[in-house]
Chain A
Amino acid sequence: MRKLIALLVLIATPVAAQDFSANSEARPWNLVAEVPARFEATVVDLLCELAGDCPANCGDGRRQLGLLRSADGVLVYPNKNSQPAFTGAAVELQPFCGKDVEVDGLMITDPELNVDNVYLVQTIRKVGDTEWTKANQWTKVWADSNPDAEGKGPWFRRDPRVNGFIEKDGYLGLGQEVDDAFIADWF
C-alpha cells in the first residue's frame, strides 16, 4: 500500500510542481500579480468546453476562447492581448481554434482577489512551428471592420458603439446633467 501511495505522489507531483515561467520571454507589464508563463495548450471555445454548446469554428469570433493546458488539463482564460489599448485576446486566438499551440505571456495569480488562471497572451504559435505570431492584431481587425470610423485618436475614441452609449448616457453613465456637473469640477 505504501508503494501505491508513493506511486500516486510521484504521478501527482510533476503536475503540482510545474513551473511555466522557466522558458518564458514575456515582456513584464509590472502588474502586481503577474507571473511569466509559457506553455502548450489546445485553443477551445469556452462555452463548448464548459456547457457543451458547440457551434462551428468556435463561434466565428463572437465568443471568448480558452487555453486547455497540455501539461495538466487546467483551463486558462486569456483575458487580454498584448496591446495596451483595452483589447482582449479572442481575436488573437480565433485563427487557432481547435489547434494545439504554444503561448507566451503573463499569468495573473492573486489569492487576495481569489483569481488564478487569468492570462495576458503576448505571442502564439502552432506546436511544431518555429515562428511566433504577436498577439497584437486586435486594432487592425477593428480598423478593417470600421472603415468609416475615421478621425484622430485611438480606436476607443472613435468606436461607433462606444460613442453611441456615451452620447446617450454620458461618460459616467448617469446622463448629461450629472456629467456636466462632474466635468465642471474635474477639470
Chain B
Amino acid sequence: MKHTILATALLGLAGAAQAAEGERVQITGEIIDTWCYYSGVMGPPESTTGTAHHTCALWCSAGGIPVGLLGDDGEVYMVLKIEGDDGSASGDTQLRLASHEITADGMLYRRDGLNYLVVEDVVADNGIVNQTHDDWGVIPGFAIPDPEG
C-alpha cells in the first residue's frame, strides 16, 4: 500500500512538469508587447498599451519580443501561432496586428504560471481602438522623431 502511495505521489510530482492539456477558448483583447508590459521598463503597464505605445509595439514585435493578447479579463495570453503562421519571433502576422483589438478563437495552454495561446481563427479584428495617447503621450518619448531634428 505504501509503495502504491509513494509511486502515485512521485508520478504526481513528475506529472506537474509535463505539458498541460489544451483548452478551447475565445478571447477578446489587445495584441501587446509583453516585455514592456511585464518588465516596467517603459513605465506602468497601462502606458504600454494602445496608441501611446503603438510604435514601440511595432519595434518590439519586429525585434522578436513575444506578443501577447491582453484579454478583457486582464490576463495576458502569450501568442505562439496565428491562423497557421508560426512566426512568433518577428513574424509578419503578429506585426500586422500590433495594438489591434481582436477576438481570437484557439487553444489555451497553461504552464508554470503563464498562459500560451495558439490562435486558430481571428474571429474579429477591430483595428486599433485603445486610444491611450491622450493620457500618456507616446511611450517611449522618443518614439516619434522630433520634426525639428
Contact = CB atoms under 8 A, between A and B. Distances in A.
A124 B111 CA distance: 23
A22 interface: no
A75 B38 contact: no
Nearest to B144: A171
A174 B114 contact: no
A74 B137 CA distance: 39
A59 B75 CA distance: 27
Interface residues of B, number: 68
Contact of A171 (B16, B75, B143): B143
A79 B138 contact: no
A162 B145 CA distance: 14
A63 B79 CA distance: 11
B90 interface: yes
Contact of B146 (A1, A62, A113, A187): A187
Contacts of B58: 162, 165-166
Interface in B1-48: 2, 5-6, 9-10, 13-14, 16-17, 19-20, 22, 34-35, 37-41, 45
Contacts of B148: 187
A17 interface: no
Contacts, number: 193
Interface string A151-187: 0000111010110011001011110000100110011
A178 to B, nearest CB: 8
Contacts of B87: 62-63
Contacts of A11: 10, 13
Q: Is the interface of B mostly helix, strand, loop or mixed?
A: mixed
A61 interface: yes
Interface in A15-50: 29, 31-34, 46-47, 49-50
A64 B88 contact: yes
B45 to A, nearest CB: 6
B38 A172 contact: no
Contact of B55 (A4, A34, A72, A166): A166
A89 B34 CA distance: 13
A56 interface: no
Given A4-B5, A113-B45, A161-B95, 12 more contacts: A11-B13, A29-B41, A50-B109, A51-B22, A51-B107, A77-B66, A79-B66, A85-B63, A88-B90, A90-B64, A115-B76, A165-B96
27 contacts: A4-B2, A11-B13, A29-B41, A31-B40, A47-B80, A47-B81, A50-B116, A51-B22, A51-B80, A52-B19, A53-B81, A80-B39, A86-B59, A88-B89, A88-B90, A91-B64, A113-B37, A114-B75, A162-B62, A166-B55, A169-B128, A171-B138, A173-B51, A173-B128, A174-B51, A174-B128, A186-B137
Interface of A: 1, 4, 7-8, 11-12, 29, 31-34, 46-47, 49-53, 55, 59, 61-65, 72-77, 79-80, 85-91, 108, 110, 113-118, 120, 138, 155-157, 159, 161-162, 165-166, 169, 171-174, 179, 182-183, 186-187
